Structures are given as C-alpha cells and as structure tokens.
Structure 1
C-alpha cells in the first residue's frame, strides 16, 4: 500500500508551506500527491466577511448562530444541514484521496478527519445533535467519520504553534477560534496512528528537515 502521511495543526501552524516542501521532496522518491481534507468553512466565512456593505454583518450573524448552536447542543435543522453538507464535502475529498492511493500514489494529507475531539480540528460537527432531523444527520456524519478513521496514516506530523505566532501568520483569523484549535491539537490521536510532534514556531527550514527525518524513519527511506 502506498504511504499515507498526514500533516495536522491549527491555522497558522505552517501546514500548507510544510506540505508543499514535503511534496516536492517525496516526489523525488515516488509519485506523491497533496490532498487537502479540510471542510474549508473558515475560508468561506472569511470570503463572506469581505463582501461590500453586508459582508461583515452577515459574517457576525453566522458566527453568533454557530456559537449558539454549540452552546445549546441543539442546532436547527437548517444549521445541521449546512454542517452536514460540509462534512460530506470532506468525505468526497477523502474518497478521491483513497482512489489516488489505490493507484500506488503516495499521499500527503493536509488535515485528517478524526472522531476523538469534536469541533474545528477536523472533528464531528454535529457531535451534540441527538434528536430529530439534526440527530439523524449526526448519526450519518459519525458513521462516515468512523469509516474514514479506519484508514490510519502511516505517520501523523503534528505541528504545534502558539497563539501569537499563529495570529502573526493569519491576521485575518479570529483569535478565539485559533486559540481553540491550538488547544485541541495536542489532544488529537487519530486512532492510534504514529505521531511526531514538531514545534512550528521554529525556523521553517528546521521544521521541514525534522518532518523529512520523521518520514524517512517511518517509511524506511
């Protein structure tokens, strides 16, 4: 089976930059593809916020409704449908990744789905929904995530960063959202997959070299 390496970390931890560098390096050894497995809800929210006149107000409304759903644990049917739709986008991306891997292509996954920690770090979006239509969607979402979770990476590169560094790299992100993601990263286990922790506040070239060394050791290169 072709190698599967996951790169995880909060926004601002350097996942994309490290991933691109590792992609070029791994391609020298065997055909490799970089697959983004995020839902990209944050990118859509920031795009809405940049809309003229109404964007900022609409973005704040969405954030408020989302926060209310998380606190109450009971998202409306409409909110649950949106969350479920984004989760299914992730499932489609995951299936595309598996198809490439089945063709013998090594995979670098930018983010990776998991069920251990609900929320923004690639976890279940409907973990608190239990009854009615939202509950039915939650059960479907969990089943899909548990299926994806069966495909354990050969190695997880977990990039750890502090809030000031992440904000300096991602000034358009909400500090509270980044803080939550940063706190969740050390809790991710990915169904017992091998994990190497890297301090991504270090100089980029050092982080990349450490990641290369970890991959070489894991794959016997």
Structure 2
C-alpha cells in the first residue's frame, strides 16, 4: 500500500452497499436484484457511480456548432490515455478527463446526501484511490506522468477528489470475481485488454478498509443474489424476513 493510502482519511462507513467487478461479472443484474428484493421493506435506491463518459459526450454533442465533433474529440482523446499511459495527455484531453472525474464526484455527493438521510444506496461501481485508471474506478490522469503545469495541477486535483471519495467506505462491498473467458463471452464487444486489466487489479483493492465479500460471478444470478442478500442482512442487522 502506498504512503498516501496509509495516511488517507477514513470516515465511518456510509449506508451504501457497493458492487464492483469486471464488466460481465453481473454487477448491474445484482444491483437491480438487491433493490427489488430490499425496497419493499427499506428505502433502497440504485445508484450508478461510473464516470458516465457517454452522458458527458451526449451533453457536449448538443452544444451548437462545435458540439458533436468536439464531443467525439474529447472522449477519443481521453480514451487514448489507456493506450499511451507513459505519455501525458494534451491540455484538452486532460480537461475532458478531469471533467469526467468531477461529474463522478457530483454523483458521489448526491449519494452521500441520500445515505445521510437514511436511504440505503445500492451502487454499481465505487470510486477508489489505490490504483489509477477509469477502468478500475480510479483517477485517470494518474496513469501518466509529466506534462505541463496545467496538466500536473489537474492531476493533483483529480487525485484529491478520489482520495476524498475513497475516505467514505461503503458499509459493505460485494466484489464479483470472474475469469477472462467468461467475461469476454458475456461482453464480446469489450476490449479483451480492458477486461484483463480489471480482472487483475480489482481483486487487489481494499477500498480503504471496507468490509468486502467476494462472490463468484460465474455462478447463476439467483445464487449470487441470495448470498448477497444474506451478507446485506448481516451488515444491516436485519431479520431474515426483511427482503
């Protein structure tokens, strides 16, 4: 663990059940299943905490005149950081990456507000500050070193945002493990290198000391849901009948 992680602030766990794992592991299916089973007896809501690059691209594309081409340029430039991690991004690409992280922070603040009001949030993904890269829900600008003062300032600010989000660990984190072949069969349109990176990195993350339950994403969805419900009931001290 890095020195920054050792010294990171840690708030008490928030009323959140987070779900992480590689694409194809069944995060969305499990999240929806938990909300459906828990909501009749609890105020439970689904919350997506990915960086939502698609939504940002849609918003930029609606801008007059420069919208569509500029939106495509920003997102393509941001995506190239994955392919060339040793080279710092350009100024515009760095800004696009930073804006995506800012939007994730906005969603995280909304989640905290609801959790503090007593709502149980079931989140698809959860930000972390241990490993860089949007693929594993970490700070993207930290994948590359160097750059001018503007880029270095954005990198420091983005890392601060992720350290702040990671300082609020979830009450329970359900981590879905899956093998590369199964993940690619379920998500054939996804880049195999991206899937391989997630499968390699996510099991090593500790999410700032969160309570983690590892589940097998290859198993039938009903079995994964039942095991998850049992873990959630224990975390919330709920009787078996509340689901």
TM-score by length of 1: 0.86
Q: What secondary structure is seen at the aligned counterpart in 1 of 2:181?
A: helix
The 5 Å alignment of 1:74-93 reads 74-93=88-107
Moved over 2 A (4+): 40-45, 61-69, 128-131
Q: Which residue of 2 aligns with 1:31?
A: 43
Alignment root-mean-square deviation, CA: 2.5
Please tell me whether residue 170 in structure 1 is matched to residue 184 in structure 2. Answer: no
Counterpart pick for 2:120 among 106, 111, 123: 106
Counterpart pick for 2:218 among 186, 195, 201: 201
| 5+ residue gaps, structure 1 | 46-53
Counterpart pick for 2:157 among 119, 140, 157: 140
Say if 1:117 and 1:187, in contact at 8 Å, map to a contact too: no
Counterpart pick for 1:71 among 60, 63, 86: 86
Instruction: Work out the number of aligned pairs and report it.
Output: 210
| 5+ residue gaps, structure 2 | 1-12, 58-68, 239-243
Please state how far the C-alpha of 1:188 moved relative to its aligned partner: 1.4
Please state how far the C-alpha of 1:65 moved relative to its aligned partner: 3.2
Say if 1:2 and 1:105, in contact at 8 Å, map to a contact too: no
CA distance in 1, matches of 2:79, 2:115: 40
Cα distance change, pair 42–167 in 1 and its aligned pair in 2 (3 A): farther
Q: Which residue of 2 aligns with 1:51?
A: none
Please state how far the C-alpha of 1:129 moved relative to its aligned partner: 4.0
Please state how far the C-alpha of 1:124 moved relative to its aligned partner: 0.9
Please state how far the C-alpha of 1:64 moved relative to its aligned partner: 7.6
Cα distance change, pair 219–64 in 1 and its aligned pair in 2 (3 A): closer
CA distance in 2, matches of 1:184, 1:167: 17
Please state how far the C-alpha of 1:102 moved relative to its aligned partner: 2.3
Q: Deviations over 1:93-136 (max 9, x none)?
A: 11111121122211111111100111111001111345411110
CA distance in 2, matches of 1:154, 1:196: 11
